[in-house]
Each structure stands twice: as structure tokens, then as C-alpha cells.
Amino acid sequence: MPKGTPSGNETREETALREVAEETGLEVRIVEPLDSIEYWFVQHGTRIHKTVHYFMMQPVGGDLAGHDHEFEQVRWVPFEDAPNLLTFETERALVARAAARLAAGTGTDGDASASLPASAVPSGTPTPAGSASADALRSSDTAGSNP
């Protein structure tokens, strides 16, 4: 699930749209906010608090072949396969909530068939993606840190 830190004065939404384009090669539009995940981690001896805000998104263009070079492969994954591919329980729960919204017909703009960005999915399927909040660690500062 794409995510990243805001660049300059970007909003959460602008960050999420940029990160999805950079990491997947897809152009997307935000359908609605999904949820946020908060966690702590330690980097260079400093405790960092990070919040990632996720959005339901719908592809409107682009191509997965144009994904970021830092990833070996970017693919669509059926919701039922996602739990086996995600590392963290918070992300598995987030994907389950996204799937439930789609099954209920909410957050879809009328399209309830969905997968995450393996193989192919019909154009126009909403998927979750996120952006890190401004209180996450930035390049050389310790915003959001708690010693």
C-alpha cells in the first residue's frame, strides 16, 4: 500500500496522490478518506510517533509498468490474498475495512468489485492508499519524536 511523507506544503491528499503515482505508476483520484494508523518506532535512538492517513482511491490512468524503481514488482492483489502478503495486523485490518466498505457498496462510486494494487483489475476500482502525516519524521528533523 503506497504511502509517504508530505513534501513542502502538500496536503495529506496531495501527498497520497503523488505517492501512489510515484510508487505504482497509476494516476488516481480520492474517493473518500478511509482510516488512519498510528505507531511508534525508534530511529537512531529517537522514539518517533507516526500517523499514516489512508484513502479509498480509484485509478483514472497510468500504468503499473511505470512504477517506482525501488519496487521489484507492483501488481493488483485480490482482497482475499492480501492478509497473507501484509506484515502488520493494523494493515490487514485496514484492508478488511476497505473490503467491507466495497462489499457494502460504500466508498465505491457504484463499483463494488475491488482488489488492491495482482494481475489485472477493472479500471475504476477503488483501493486503499495513504500518506504520512506532518508529525512523522522528516529528512533531518525529529518532528513527532518523543525521547
Topology classification of domain 12-132: Nucleoside Triphosphate Pyrophosphohydrolase (3.90.79)
Residue 105 pLDDT = 79
**Residue spans per domain, the chain:** 12-132
The residues, any chain, with a CB within 8 Å of residue 97's CB and separated by 6 or more, are 34, 35
At 57-107, the pLDDT tens digits run: 999 999 988 888 887 888 888 888 888 988 889 889 988 998 888 888 765
- pTM of the shown model: 0.70
The residues, any chain, with a CB within 8 Å of residue 89's CB and separated by 6 or more, are none
Q: How far apart are CA 106 and CA 62, in angstroms?
A: 25
